[in-house]
Amino acid sequence: MKKMTIKALAATAMLMLAPVAGFAGGGGNLHLDHVKIDMGDKASLQRGFKLFANYCLSCHAASYARYNRTASDLGISEIMLKENLIFTGAKVHSPMKVAMPAEGAKDWFGKTPPDLSVIARSRGTDWLYTYLRGFYLDPKKPVGTNNTVFPDVGMPHVLWELQGWQEAAERSEDGHVTKLTLVEPGAMQPEEYDAAVRDLVNFLAYLGEPAQLERSRLGPWVLLFLLVFSFVAYLLKKEYWKDVH
Ligand code: HEC
């Protein structure tokens, strides 16, 4: 009986891990560039939020997040929020919705842009980092571009002004693009663009788990409490055992 339970548990655990392993594998020979996420870096999160509001919210919602909660988590004032980050006419306490109707988007791009609230958890941060740097010119596609990690993606290269345009430079035997070259520079140097995308991915990681910031803020206090508590417990123990010895 006990053995059965362990087997069942193991099977459940494997089922739960399967999608993770699938993504980690990235579908065959897919190479993902690693990005270091640091949710403690408020300046990076603020820059990421700005990019997100400017370049992504026109099509994608993040409807699990509210503007004012996000702003206060990231140390952004309400005035700053209203003047620089809300373009849809939404109220400060509204969830981040898109102005564009979903049907319209489907007609234009063939797919409805998904909600990005938890995208960092479903795709992983390395995938997002590679995806947002992986658009290249492909005249065969309706939007004129394609993507290394998301072949035939319906999303246009919305950050082209910053990154510029890339072309496929090398392909693997099965036709996957393995290397890109910049054929027309954008407003940013490649390193600057990588850093900007890192900020954006950092922000998306925060969106997927806003409680993370609160946890890391509370962490040191919890440890301090445990330390003080252990000391008091030690004193008490000494007091109790004094007479026994
Ligand atoms: C012009 C509209 C538009 C804008 C602006 C836009 N996207 Fe998209 N995005 C799409 C569409 C359409 C899809 C669905 C593509 C598909 O499934 O083929 C998509 C898909 C995605 C996906 C893949 C989702 C999945 O299926 O896993 C990610 C990630 C993403 N977008 C991130 C972003 C980010 C970050 C920005 C801002 C820099 C952004 N998008 C801006 C239209 C847009």
Q: 3-state DSSP call for residue 35? A: coil
For 118-168, write each residue's pLDDT tens digit: 999 999 999 999 999 999 999 999 899 999 999 999 999 999 999 999 999
Atom of ligand 1 nearest to the CA of 154: 18
- Report how far ligand 1's centroid is from the alpha carbon of 2 (Å): 48
Q: Please name the residue ranges forming H helices in the chain.
A: 2-25, 42-55, 67-73, 78-84, 102-109, 119-123, 125-132, 160-163, 190-208, 211-241
- Report how far ligand 1's centroid is from the alpha carbon of 32 (Å): 18
Smallest CA separation from ligand 1 atom 42, residue = 155
- Tens place of pLDDT for every residue, the chain, 245 residues? 455 566 665 665 555 554 444 444 344 457 899 999 999 899 999 999 999 999 999 899 999 999 999 999 999 999 999 998 998 889 998 999 886 666 677 777 778 899 999 999 999 999 999 999 999 999 999 899 999 999 999 999 999 999 999 999 999 888 889 999 999 999 999 999 999 999 999 999 999 987 777 777 788 889 999 999 999 999 999 998 988 86
For each of the domains in the chain, give its residue range(s) and CATH number, in order of start: 34-233 (1.10.760.10)
- Report how far ligand 1's centroid is from the alpha carbon of 109 (Å): 10
